[in-house]
Amino acid sequence: MINKKRMLSEFLELTKIRCSTKAEREVGDLLKQRLINLGLDVFEDEVGVQIGGNCGNIIGFLPSNVARAETIMLSAHMDCVEPCGNVSPIVEGGIIKSCGNTILGADDKAGIAAILEGIRAIVENKLPHGGIQVVFTVSEEGGLDGSKNINKKHLKAAMGYALDSGGEPGQIITKAPGQNSIDVIIHGKKAHAGVAPEQGINAIVLAGKALAELKQGRIDEETTANVGIINGGNATNIVPDRVEIKCEARSRNVEKLAAQTEHMRNTFERVALENGGRVEVNIHHAYDPYVLTDDAPVVQLAVKSAESIGLKPVIQATGGGSDANFFNGYGVPTAVLGVGMSKVHTTEEYIKEEDLYNTAELVVAIITNAVSRS
């Protein structure tokens, strides 16, 4: 059904386009034209301006060519993590990788390529389809900014799929955590470390005492916490009076997320107070969790579609967030699909050609099976 040679060429073309977070203009313009060429009505929203980027979300719609068929949303994000410039993809032994000094960008250009080729196959073969909405988001890697700020009135679909996960095609992510960011500033008291250290309160020591008591890492099967960044101190001869710590908590259970967040806040506040310091704790709620049941229509359609092309459906949970967190929150049940990307966010990133093509075939199957389901 799909044209493998064409799809590979398009994927390689996409990987060579630098698309840093909030600088997706070049790839955004290309994708707008590709969608227009496929017959979609396309527009770019105002999110780029809202978040200080140079490109907004690209949203396209292909009307149904049959009666009473549901609209399906297909989504992928346009931005990549660094280093994403001057990518030189290598195809060798059925594996696509970078030359080793950049990422490849399969996260998430593999999702983009699969959506484009899947729709192209539908259009070229004049297959029956319901409405197809395409949402290419910006600044996913920067904190899901594109989906976070999209006007939910633009979303027309009954259900959706975000093509943005590792794992072979057939993997269906139905549960994902919510996240809180926890920014901490610990204040001590500055003093000369050699002349009068007893007059100071070492903020680094206070931080260390708090961190020693902090529950972090794997809390339980659906909850995690991490201390990611610590900055503090100016010189070895000065008792440091300020330390900044950036943390996060995640859970697929909102009560557990709240409890872990409060534990972290309380630990920093109590330890600072007990040792003569003070602390500022700022909590930012990044996104909510989502849970899709196995019998949800969006899940069942993905399972049926995977099976129809010989893929093994695997339903599972994840510890990472994605645009699907917000789409689900807006009332569009959205599952995340595996596209085969591996070792993402590293210069060792790669994807199998087979997985690339199978993902596009899965897109075709989802669109066509949605019609028979309706």
Taking the C-alpha atoms of residue 117 and residue 40, their distance in angstroms, rounded to an integer, is 14
Single out the catalytic residue among 10, 24, 79, 222: 79
Query: Minimal CA–CA distance to 367: which of 43, 35, 166, 66?
Result: 66
Which region, left, alpha or beta, applies to residue 146 given φ > 0 means left and ψ of -120 to 50 means alpha? Answer: alpha
Bond preceding residue 108 cis, omega within 30 of 0: yes
For 53, list phi and psi in degrees, rounded to 5: -100, 180
Q: Is 140 a catalytic residue?
A: yes
Show Cβ contacts of residue 124 under 8 Å, excluding neighbours closer than 6 positions: none
Q: Residue 34 corresponds to which amino acid?
A: R
Residues 24/25/29/31 CA torsion (nearest 10 deg)? 0
At residue 264's C-alpha, the angle toward residues 248 and 226, to 5°, is 30
Long-range contacts (CB closer than 8 Å, 24 or more residues apart) made by 263-268: 263/214, 263/215, 264/182, 264/214, 264/215, 264/225, 265/182, 267/210, 267/213, 267/214, 268/184, 268/186, 268/210
Overall size of the chain counted in residues: 374
For 96, list phi and psi in degrees, rounded to 5: -110, 125
Are 206 and 186 contacting, i.e. CB atoms less than 8 angstroms apart? yes
Structure tokens at 211: 């961190």
Helix axes 106-124, 353-373, angle to 10 degrees: 50
Query: Minimal CA–CA distance to 167: which of 298, 327, 312, 11?
Result: 312
Single out the catalytic residue among 10, 24, 140, 145: 140
Show Cβ contacts of residue 322 under 8 Å, excluding neighbours closer than 6 positions: 140, 144, 162, 164, 165, 173, 176, 336
Q: Is 354 a catalytic residue?
A: no
Instruction: Kindly give the pairing relationship between strand 314-317 and strand 171-176.
Output: parallel
Which sequence positions are flagged as catalytic? Answer: 79, 140
